[in-house]
Amino acid sequence: MSDRSQLIETGKPFAFDEQRDAEFERLATRYPTRDSLILPSLWLVQEQEGWISAEAMAYIADRIGCFATQVYEAATFYTMYNLQPKGEYHICVCRTLSCYLLGKQEIVDYLQSELGIKPGEVSTDGKYSLEEVECLGHCGSAPVVQINGEFYEYMNVDKLKELLATMN
Amino acid sequence: MADKVKLFVNGQEVEVESGKNLIDAIGAVGIEIPHLCYHPALGADGNCRMCLVGIEDGRPPIVPACKTKAAEGMKVLLDADHIKKIQHDVMELELINHPIDCPICDQAGECKLQDYYMKYDGQKSRMTVKPVMKAKKLDFGAGVVHDQERCILCARCVRFTRQITKTGELGIVNRTDYARVNIFPGRPLANRYALNVVDLCPVGAMTSSDFRFKQRAWFLTKSPSICQGCSKGCNIFIDHNREKYKDDVIYRYRPRLNEKVNGYFICDEGRMTYKAENDNRLTTGIVSGKETGLSEAVEATRRLISEAKKTVFLVSPNNTLEQMYAIKAFAAEAGAALSGFSDGYIQEGDADGYLIQDDKSANRASFELLGIEGSKDGFDKAVADADLVISFNNDLSKSLAEADLNALLEKAQLVYIGTSLGTCASKAAVALPIASYSEDCGSLINIDQVLQQFAVAVVKNEPAANLIEVVQQLGGSVAGVKEARAGLMESVAALKDVNLEEVPEEGIALTDNEVSNVAA
């Protein structure tokens, strides 16, 4: 996890497309309070754009009728939400207790030197993005790395080398 | 009265109010439970864990005091070793990333983190790794400057903007070590109560751009008073200091708790009215454009009164009850007409249903009590054939357009007995300086008919005479506040049962009935 509070502004207004708009309205009937729409709305934005901009957060807040800071809080809290365009391979390394104790730092250090990017950054060619994330729920098979949603368990530098080779 | 329950704190029996949480209930009998995130106006949040107390034989045995109601027979442990360890550990946690820049921090001297460190922690830092760096000087708007590194994430400010002002400009973003308070990009603090977050902040994370780096908290004298920015009469502390070789100067107003009037907060406009007490003050007499001493100005005014065919006394809705009484008595003695015309003090539509009121004067309710007529018609009638208008700190330029004021001053001379330099002081034939409310004392009745009193807070190196003294020098018969109060209690029906010499701190509610009983 790094500081995720620096939002990116696209300079263009955001709006749901027709399909997501309908989905939003359908979801609105599902919850007892509209504040509950914050998380699913953020997913809809991410589905549509691949990442979530400042404009999109403001749009969601105004659509839901909640404070923009509530959306801002939720989006920066959960590392599953991408707050910048991600790379072709989005690599998440768990940094919570079990993975921490079992050597996540070696993995992060290796990825940093191999890819030339720090956690929270995207490589200049847009191929890789690296993120340190909070618990992914695979503590029993720590340390764990998640690449584009796929889990890779009991990770170490050697296994990672093989994995990276398949990506090239 | 609320029911009482008996419980034990560290084995000692105490009687406390039931229905309150342990912090408030036990705090009311003088036993402190340390807490950072809990604030009575914002409710329990339970995020700081500083108020964890032991309950002997309780299930669970350790509870947050802010979320636990006082109950009969409860055995609360505060000084047990395991509770002390919790307090100690929580303090150590809060200080892990704290910059400890107390020497340059505005909060130093009134900081909970400092106080609690001395009381509950007191150990050297065991940190050997680099602390997390965050932003130091964020402009949150509305005069609030935020230091993310000093913040302990108690969320008081966040809860204030969500629960009290319902504007929600602040939030806690990120998580873990990286968590911080922030505004949403492009949506800064924009509410009329924003500066309360500076008072609410238990540490120095929220600072006021107006007060930042001006004074150390321990040099300030904190005098209780009443805000005169509008007719709500919010209770305040006037924080002032006389620096060596300088004059007594006010540095800030802070809200003072009064459940009957303003609760814990005040508005930002009211908070900034202290500037008018410091700056642009009328400090000397002015006779025909020349500065003079007070006695010359008094003499000139007496001459004007004796020469005038008809005099109108113009009372200000900011005058205290006692001042109004003295002016009214003087008007009767001098055969002058009395008016309280001050329409310009009212800003129609400005009230927000919370603290801010339309009427920007502090004591208009007393007009009714003393039968002082404030209408435009009454004023026009009174000045129609008058050749002298004496304004008792009533800024006529607020209520009359410039042309109308000039037309009035062509046929009548103006004497301005007031506190500030401005249109009235410059247009007056004679201007007399008086003490402003921070340098004076008296009673005010607010828009909800609550009578409150304030005492002298600031004493200038060369104190101006107070208004009642000046009225007496001009020929009035009321000698001082004490005599005015005695007269008021005797002559005003609504104040018959009120002892003006002993008004409780929270004020006295005069019911509408009592006021309407007064013969106009």
Separation between Cα atoms, residue B38 and residue B323, nearest integer Å: 42
Are residues A58 and B178, on separate chains, in Cβ contact within 8 Å? no
Residues of A in contact with B171 (CB under 8 A): 67, 69-70, 72-73
Q: What's the token pair of residue B333?
A: 């003695």
Which ipTM value was assigned to this complex? 0.89
Architecture of domain B128-208: 2-Layer Sandwich (3.30)
Q: Which long-range contacts link B210-214 to residues 24+ away (Cβ below 8 Å)? A: B210/B143, B210/B252, B210/B272, B211/B106, B211/B251, B211/B252, B212/B106, B212/B145, B213/B104, B213/B106, B214/B251, B214/B252
Per-residue pLDDT reduced to its tens digit, A74-108: 999 998 999 999 999 999 999 999 999 999 999 99
Choices 3.40.640.10, 3.40.190.10, 3.30.1340.10, 3.40.30.10: CATH for A89-167: 3.40.30.10
SS3 of residue B309 by DSSP: coil
- CA–CA gap between residue B142 and residue B194 (Å, rounded): 6
* B162 near A CB under 8 A: yes
Q: Which residues of A touch B132 (CB under 8 A)?
A: none
The reply to whether residue A73 touches residue B173, judged by beta carbons under 8 angstroms, is yes
**Nearest CA distance, A167 vs chain B (angstrom):** 31
Q: Which pLDDT score, from 0 to 100, does residue B517 have?
A: 43
CATH architecture of the domain with residue range B285-516: 3-Layer(aba) Sandwich (3.40)
Please report the pLDDT score of residue A1 as a whole number.
62
pLDDT under 50: residue ranges of chain B: 513-520
| Domain residue ranges in chain A | 18-77, 89-167
Residues, chain B: 520
Judge whether B174 is closer than 8 Å to chain A, CB to CB.
yes
Query: What per-residue confidence (pLDDT) applies to B1?
Result: 56
- Can you give the pLDDT at residue B499? 92
CA distance A51 to chain B (A): 17
Cβ contact B432:B471 at 8 Å: no
| Beta-carbon separation of B186 and A76 below 8 A | no
Angle at B143 (CA atoms; ends B138, B144), nearest 5 degrees: 45
B170 touches chain A (CB under 8 A): yes
Give the distance from residue B275's alpha carbon to the nearest chain A alpha carbon, in angstroms. 33
- Which residue in A has a C-alpha nearest to residue B161's C-alpha? A67
pLDDT at B519: 42
The CATH architecture to which B4-94 belongs is Roll (3.10)
Please indicate if any CB of chain A lies within 8 Å of the CB of B47.
no
Angstrom distance (rounded) from CA B241 to CA B219: 7
Which chain B residues have a beta carbon less than 8 Å from that of A71? 184
* Mean pLDDT score, A100-120: 94
CB distance B173–A76 less than 8 Å? yes
DSSP helix/strand/coil, B431: strand
Contact status of B319 with chain A (Cβ, < 8 Å): no
**CATH, domain A18-77, list 1.10.3470, 2.60.40, 1.10.10, 3.40.50:** 1.10.10
Residue B456's CB: how many other CB atoms inside 10 A? 16
CA gyration radius, chain B:
27
Would the CATH topology of A18-77 be identical to that of A89-167?
A: no
Q: Residue B265 has what pLDDT?
A: 97
Hey, is the C-beta of B133 within 8 angstroms of any chain A C-beta? no
Contacts of A96 in chain B (CB under 8 A): none
Is the CB of B174 less than 8 angstroms away from the CB of A3?
A: yes
Q: How far is B97 from B149, CA to CA, in rounded Å?
A: 7
CATH 2.20.25.90 fits B220-278, yes or no: yes
Q: Given this model, what pLDDT does residue A167 score?
A: 84
pLDDT at B58: 84
Separation in Å, CA of B176 to nearest CA in chain A = 9
Q: What is the pLDDT of residues B27-46, one digit of tens each?
A: 999 999 999 999 999 999 99
Chain B residues whose CB is inside 8 A of the A70 CB are 168, 171
Q: Which residues of B touch A72 (CB under 8 A)?
A: 171, 173, 182, 184
B184 close to A (CB below 8 A): yes
How distant is the Cα of B182 from the closest Cα of chain A, in angstroms? 8
Cβ contact B323:B367 at 8 Å = no
Q: DSSP letter string over B316-327?
A: -TTS-HHHHHHH
Element (H, E) at A151: strand A150-152
Which positions in chain A have a beta carbon within 8 angstroms of at least one beta carbon in chain B?
A: 1-5, 7, 9, 54, 57-58, 61, 66-73, 76-77, 134
Whether B90 contacts B24, CB under 8 Å: no
- Whether B166 and chain A come into contact, CB under 8 Å, resolves to no
Kindly determine whether residue A77 and residue B162, on different chains, have CB atoms separated by under 8 Å.
no
Residue of B nearest to A96 (CA): B176
Structure confidence by residue, pLDDT tens digits, A148-157: 989 999 999 9
pTM attached to this predicted model: 0.92
Decide if A2 and B178 are in contact by the 8 Å CB cutoff.
yes
Say which of A7, A66, A70 has its CB closest to residue B185: A7
Q: Where are the domains of chain B?
A: 4-94, 128-208, 220-278, 285-516
Task: Please report the sign of the dihedral spanned by the C-alpha atoms of residue B131, residue B134, residue B135, residue B140.
Answer: negative
Contact B171 A5 (CB under 8 A): no
The residue of chain A with its CA nearest to that of B184 is A69
